[in-house]
Amino acid sequence: MQKFAPVHVVSLFLITLLLSTGCANHDVVKKDEGFTPAPVVRQTDPPKTDQGASSETSSTPIDIREVTPSTASDTSQQNQQTSANEKLQSALNKIYFNFDSAGLSESARSTLAKNAETLASKPIAKIRIEGNCDERGSAEYNLALGERRAKAAQQYLVTMGVNSDRLTTVSYGKEKPSAGGNDEAAWASNRRAEFIIATP
């Protein structure tokens, strides 16, 4: 029987080992050639849909507060009231007096009757009657004369059915002339009583 030297045994072992390893590697390469790696799928956030947005919105707490009338509504009501007052004011006509007199002329009575009808259609309106005089005479005298003129107009309106609680009087004497000038036309224009809306 032939004996192998230890060197030969070792060499034979190494050759066998190399051949085995080579074959194994050859097989692995063959197997890997037909292998296609699966695509890598990355996890991403799902796109937001309208439904998701609405559910997110609906989860937001709602602040419920007491509802008060809007400023626009208040302004509209004020404008309407102002317009109504302007119409009423334009419908109330002045009356005029003779020189140094608080007596009511036929023309003044006719005007007061029309004013009473106008006030009857606006029963909540309150009126301030302002007595005025021309520039002649002292301030004290004209204040007293203006008061008598305002009171004469007030009393006539009451006789025409206007509630006295709705009427107040004031005298401006010669302090508020409606016309400038020092002639009879200006003086006649200033001897008057005016009817001013005091409240709605």
Q: Convert the pLDDT of each residue in 122-154 to its tens digit.
A: 888 999 999 999 999 999 999 999 999 999 999
Q: What is the mean pLDDT of residues 73-96?
A: 82
Q: What is the mean pLDDT of residues 52-70?
A: 53
Question: What is the distance of C-alpha 92 from the center of its chain?
Answer: 32
Least confident of 29-33, 126-130, 155-159: 29-33
Q: Which residue has the higher pLDDT, 48 or 15?
A: 15
Q: Which residue has the higher pLDDT, 49 or 182?
A: 182
Using a pLDDT cut of 70, give the percent of the chain over it: 62
Q: What is the mean pLDDT of residues 157-176?
A: 96
Q: What confidence score (pLDDT) does residue 91 get?
A: 93
Confidence bin at 17 (pLDDT 50/70/90): low
Task: Give the bridge partners for 196, in sequence order.
Answer: 128
Retrieve residue 93's tokens: 């006509």
Domains and CATH numbers, the chain: 86-199 (3.30.1330.60)
Q: What is the mean pLDDT of the chain?
A: 79
Question: Does residue 11 surpass a pLDDT of 90?
Answer: no
